[in-house]
Amino acid sequence: MTSRPRRLAAAAALASAAFTLVACGGGGEEVAENEDGLVELTVMQITTMDAGPLHLGVEQGFFEEEGLDVTVQIAEAGSAIVPSVVNQESPIGYANVVSDLQAIDQGLDVQFVSNCCGTGSDPEADTSGIFVLPDSEIQAAADLEGANIAVNSVNNLGDLTIIRALEEQGVDGSTLEFTPMNYSDMPAALERGDVDAIWSVEPHRSISESHGFVNLSSNFVESFPDTQLGYYITSGAFAEANPEVVAGFQRAMDRANEYATDNPDEVRATIAETLDLDPELVAGANLATYVPGLDQDSVRAFGEAAVEQGMISEEPDYEEIFVEPQE
């Protein structure tokens, strides 16, 4: 073993300016309407295929029908989104479930709003994988004991799901080492021998396959099948001050997830355009599951696992962290 990352804002700096706040301080910020009477709402996402339904929801007018003028603002990582949501620069944003739970564990004012994306039960359809070189001495998942694995961030969703998936294969999770790096840097690091394996999530999973790397584990499906992995979140203060805005977002997001499920080719097309990817590459990429609603059971499952892995100190008060959808 070896030793030890539609309404797309034209400029991120302008996106927060377009969202006009009329109050200051730690309370709930009220929103302003544009000249058409629509509430201007900035929603943050990252460069991932999981953003497809959000972009389609904007393109199809689902948010506009709820009185919302949504601007999608792109962040380089989910770690930048949580503080933006808490300070209401971006009142709603995406983060994976582990990051959400860690923010709540740190005492931040974060509440779950809506499902973003999840995984099913078919390993062949997983959006995630652990890859090695074709000539690696590691030939099976069980051989990864003691391996150094590249992940986009440590102490988060990647290592949590990898540890659980590999422990199902008899690997001692405590022997694994994780090295943080950008997804785009991982193939070269693997080929240089800097790490033994890399964790790839679509579209990087398809890129790893195009390099001829060998997938040893579909770690999302093998660890938490049929669960939600990511959510749209808001601050409790914003939700309290703007209940109808949040409810409108929930309804529109439900429609967007249903539309994305029924139109996977449109998801791929909008992601290829948004992320400037080769359409042929994206055409073969696996898609997440896009389930309407707010899956609270998945949050509980990840909360328990995150405590077991020492990623959060305790499970949250589940009665306090969900914005219950309105009928």
**Domain ranges within the chain, ordered by starting residue:** 12-120+226-308, 123-223
Place of tokens 């007018």: 61
* Three-state secondary structure call for residue 57: helix
- As a whole number, the mean pLDDT across the chain is 89
Q: Which two tokens stand for residue 136?
A: 């690696």
Average pLDDT over residues 228-256: 97
* Three-state secondary structure call for residue 112: strand
Topology (CATH level 3) of domain 12-120+226-308:
D-Maltodextrin-Binding Protein; domain 2 (3.40.190)
CA distance 262 to 242: 31
Percent of the chain that is helix, strand, coil (3-state, to 5): 40, 20, 40
pLDDT at 2 over 50: no
Do 12-120+226-308 and 123-223 come out as alike in CATH topology?
yes
User: The pTM is what?
Assistant: 0.87
4 neighbors 154 (Cβ within 8 angstroms): no
Q: Which residues contact 61 (CB under 8 A, 6 or more apart)?
A: none
Average pLDDT over residues 171-182: 95
Q: What is the largest CA-CA distance in the chain?
A: 63
CATH superfamily for 123-223 is: Periplasmic binding protein-like II (3.40.190.10)
Task: Please write the tens of the pLDDT for every residue from 13-53.
Answer: 323 333 233 333 345 566 777 777 899 999 999 877 899 99
Task: Please write the tens of the pLDDT for every residue from 71-88.
Answer: 999 886 777 899 999 998
pLDDT of residue 80: 80
pLDDT at 241 over 80: yes
